[in-house]
Structures are given as C-alpha cells and as structure tokens.
Amino acid sequence: MRRIPVAAQVLILAIVPLVMQLLLLLWMADLQSQAEQQLNQAVRQREIAESISKLMSLAYDVARHAADDPDSQLKAVEEITSRTRSAYEELKTVIEPGSDLQKAVERSEKASLQVQQTFKMIVSTPDGKLRKPLWVSLRGSVKEMIFGGLLSAEKELKAMAEKGMLTESALREKFQRVALFGSTATLIVSGTLALLLASNISRRLKRLDDNNLRMASNLPLPAPMSGGDEIARIDQTFHEMVKVLKETATKEHLVIEGARDVICSIEKSGRIVAINPACTEMLGFTPEELIGARLINLIAEEPEVAQSFLEQLQKIKQSEPVEIKLRHRDLRPIDTSWSVQWSEDEHTAFCVVHDISERRAAERLREEVLYMVSHDLRTPLTTLNHVFEVLSSTNSQLQERRAHYVQLGERNVERLIRLISDLLDIEKIRSGKMVLETESVHLDECFQACLEALAPAAEGKGVHLSADETSIVVSGDADKIDRVIINLVGNAIKYSNSGDSVRVAAEADSEKVTVSIIDEGPGIPADQLDKVFERFHQVQGDDQAKGSGLGLTICKAFVELHGGKIWAERVSPRGTKFAFTLPRQAEAG
C-alpha cells in the first residue's frame, strides 16, 4: 500500500463503497425482478384457474337447464355455447402453447362442443325414450369436459399460484435482508478501509514528526520509509535534507574548530553559551571552563569600560570591530578586536575575537625603534658632530680639551658599532644564518674577560664587581658566551646604584651549567620579568638611562642557540638575578 500514492488510496476509499453499493443494487434489482416474475406467474396461474372454474361452472349450467322446457333449454344452450366459446378463447390466450394444459383445454373444448351438440339433439328430440341415450352421452361429454384434465389442472394451478405468492413473499424478505446486509457490509468495509488508511497515514506522519524532533535533538534518524507515495517521498527528501545539513554542520564545525580566532556566543546576561577551542591558545582556558562563565570576568579593563562594552554588544546589530583587553589565565593582558552581530530574536551576540597583541606589539616596536633611532643613533652622531667641531676649531680653550673630546667621540663610535652589530646579529638570528663556533670554553676566563672589560664602568658608578672562582668548562662559542656575560653584567651595572654590588657565579650538575649574575639594584617588576628579553623592551617606570633594548634579546638568542635557556627573577631583599644554562663539556676518556 505504501507504493500507492495517497491520492489513489483516498480514491480507493471512495470507490470501494460505491462499487459495493452498485453490486448491492444489482443484486437487489435481480431479487426484485425474480419477485416480480414470481408474482406475474402466480397471477397468471390464478387467472388460468379462474378461467377453468368458469368453464366448469358453465358445464354445470348445462346440467341445471336439463329440466326446462325445450324453448328455454334451447335459449340456455345458445347462451352457454356463446359464453363457453368466449371462456375457451380467453383461456387459450393465457396458457402456454404446447403445454399439457393446452392439450387438456383442447380435449375439454372438444367435449364442450360435443355437449352442445348433444344438448341440441336432446332439445330437438321430443321422444323421451330416444332422449335417454342422448342424456347418457351428454353426461359422458360433460364428465369429459370437466374431469378430462381441467379439474386437476385447476387444483395444480391454484397450488402453484399459492406457492408463487409464497416465493414472491420470500424474495421480498430476502430483498430486505440483502439491503440490510449490504448496507452493513458497506459501512464495515468503508470504516475498515478508512481506519486502515487513517492509521497508516497517521502513523507515518507521526514518524515524520518524530524525525523532526530527532533532528532537532541531534539524534540518529531511522531508515527512510520504503515506497513511492507522497509521504515516503517527503521522508526520503527529509533524510536527504538532514544529510546535507549534517555535512554542512560538519564543515561549519571543522571551520569553527580549526579557526585561529575565538568564535563565541554571548547571551544578554553576559554569559558565554558557546565558544570554540581557539580560546585555549588565546586565553589559556578550555571551552568547558568558559561556557557558562561571565565575559566581564575576562575583561582586563576598568569595570566601567567592561560594563560599557557589554552594553554596546546588546545595542547594535552589527558593528565595526571593537577593541578591548582580555585577561589571560596567567593574568597577562591580551589586546583583542571584536566583530559582533547581535540577534534580537535569540537575544545573543555572535562574536569573532581576533588577537591583535602582535599588531599592538609591532606598533610598540615601531615606537621603540623610532625612540632608538632618535636617541641611540642621533645622540652619538650629535656628539661626534661636536667633536669634529672642536677638532676643527682654532679656539685655544677648546684645543686644551681636544683629548677629552677625542675620547668622547671614540666611545660614541664604539656605541654605534655595538648598536649596528646588535641589529645585524638580530637579523642573522631571525633568518637562521647565525653560526656557532663550538669549542671548549673555560668559564673562569670568560669571567675574567668580563671583569677587565667592565671594571672601569663599575668603578665609575661606585659599584663593586666580583666573580666567583670556577673551574667549570662548557661546550660553546667563546665569543658569544663572552658577549652574553658582558651584556648581562653591563646591564646590571647600568641599573645599580653607588655602593651596590654585582656578582657573577656558576654552578654545574651532571648535564648543564648555570651561570648567574646577581645585582642589588631596584629590581624588575614581577609582571615584566618575562618581557625583558623581547626586542626593544624597556623596563617601565625606570628613570635610569635607557639602552637600545636589544642586549637582552641577543643574550636570549645566543643562549638558545647553545640549547640552553635564560630567565630573570627577583631576589630578596632587593635586586635581580639573571641566569642562563649552557651544555656542560663532556669529560674525556
């Protein structure tokens, strides 16, 4: 039945009762026809029986006029003869030709003619003796006329007429039973078909509705309906649609899951209802940790700014990118740019969050480069210009200070050379062209070279500079290790005050050597300990003379080229400790 279209099923539901009614009407018409035939046959048989009764009555009339006078008898015979002839003619019209009844009627008619002739002979014969044989002959003819088959035929016809009437009555009762049975059967069949059709359609429509609920609940669907009717085609089309939607959702999920930007949904109350895994890399939190959390707790801005940002999300349907700082799991701020679309129907903001920390860092780097160019390059060049003016001057007073200005110019040239060397080294490291010349390096020699190079600077600031004795030997590039130690110690001297001390020490374990530079300066704020090794970074809030901001970056690069690591930490009660590791020289033999 599933292969039959629903329209055809409804048509069948309408046609079957009509066909049954038509068959019922044909049956009832046949019964009606049989009843009418039985009735007509009974009426005909009754008419024949009445005609026979009429003939027998005429025969008795002949005998009744036997005692009349001759004239009356003759007149009666003529009248009876006329009536008999009419009765026989009427009887012959209603009987079936060639039947036994027709033969009996013909014999009776022949006997009737004999009766009429004999009766006329009796009337015309006055002699009583001669009449006697004629009366005997008359009685025989009358007997033949009445009892020669008509009487038995009359009885049989009357019985058949009664039977026909009973049959006709039975047919009419059967007609009524058939009408009642047919109507009941039609109702039952129609109701059964309607119930089956309604049940089938209702069950399958319920399955379609269940499929809708399953799709909404993201549950697997049962197999598509078989068949080719409209409901089956709708279900098959629905399955194809769900398949396409799942493929689309899978692709969308893959895009969202693989996106580097954070994609999230935030309801009107400010709670996060959905977020992709990119939040782990950007914020340090997993999606499970953030779903249900309040966005305001992640904003690293003043409460007024954070609240204003949340209100702004709810007032606009689509906005230009909005920038705000978020708080990482480790509490460091992250610069982000938000693209938001607010859905009034769902009371939800759909957001794409882009990490612009690198862009902000690049902008800060540009500012620091500009500062470096304006300070670290222009100042030495200005000093050199003054030196050249002094050297070219003929003023006797300036001539006396010529040696001082020459020395000043040499220091600024060395400063420029170091700056340019640092820039070149940074570029080499970035491009992977920096090469290590590995050899056995004695740390005590590195310490001694550092003390010799920086002793004048330490004495000039009143800083006590010392290095622990050591016999540790490392494997590395001696020149680069010297530069790392000198940069770190020089940086410590620069930020130390008069009377402070700077100490260089080393310790080793079975795998690595740790070199430490400890100063007693003002120290580095805890939130900047990880940033001091970034390019051009300057410690905020420091009023000391600033450098290029490349020294520590180069130190980190050189240490990492050796396979070590470098870090900074605060020491108690005051000061900073810079430490880095180097691979230990393998012992011979």
* Domain chopping of the chain, boundaries: 6-172, 260-355, 361-429, 435-583
In whole angstroms, what is the distance from residue 471 CA to residue 442 CA?
A: 7
In whole angstroms, what is the distance from residue 576 CA to residue 518 CA?
A: 6
Smallest CA-to-CA distance from 439 within 472, 409, 471, 477 is with 477
Write down the CATH number for the domain with range 6-172: 1.20.120
Determine the topology of domain 435-583 in CATH.
Heat Shock Protein 90 (3.30.565)
CB 405 within 8 A of CB 382: no
DSSP string, 84-124: HHHHHHHHHHHSPTTSHHHHHHHHHHHHHHHHHHHHHHHHH
CA atoms within 13 A on the CB side of 209: 6
What are the residues whose beta carbons fall under 8 Å from the beta carbon of 534, sequence distance 6 or more?
Answer: 361, 553
- The whole-number pLDDT of residue 589 equals 39
CB 527 within 8 A of CB 332: yes
- The whole-number pLDDT of residue 195 equals 84
Smallest CA-to-CA distance from 2 within 196, 194, 190, 186 is with 196
Burial readout 515-533 (b: 16 or more C-beta within 10 A, e: otherwise): bbbbbbbbbbeeebbebbb
The model's pTM is 0.43
CB 3 within 8 A of CB 228: yes
In whole angstroms, what is the distance from residue 565 CA to residue 484 CA?
A: 12
Q: Please state which of the four CATH numbers 3.40.50.2300, 1.10.287.130, 1.10.3720.10, 3.40.50.170 is assigned to the domain occupying 361-429.
A: 1.10.287.130
CB 383 within 8 A of CB 412: yes
pLDDT along the chain (589 residues), means of 10: 67 79 80 73 66 63 56 61 66 66 68 69 68 64 57 63 73 79 82 82 84 84 81 86 85 78 90 92 92 92 88 71 90 90 86 88 69 62 66 59 67 70 73 83 93 89 92 91 92 89 91 92 77 65 54 87 91 85 69
CB 441 within 8 A of CB 479: no
* DSSP-H helix ranges across 226-377: 230-258, 278-283, 287-290, 303-315, 357-372
Q: In degrees to the nearest 10, what's the CA dihedral of 104, 109, 110, 114?
A: 130
CATH superfamily of 260-355: PAS domain (3.30.450.20)
Smallest CA-to-CA distance from 47 within 171, 214, 160, 210 is with 160
- The whole-number pLDDT of residue 153 equals 60
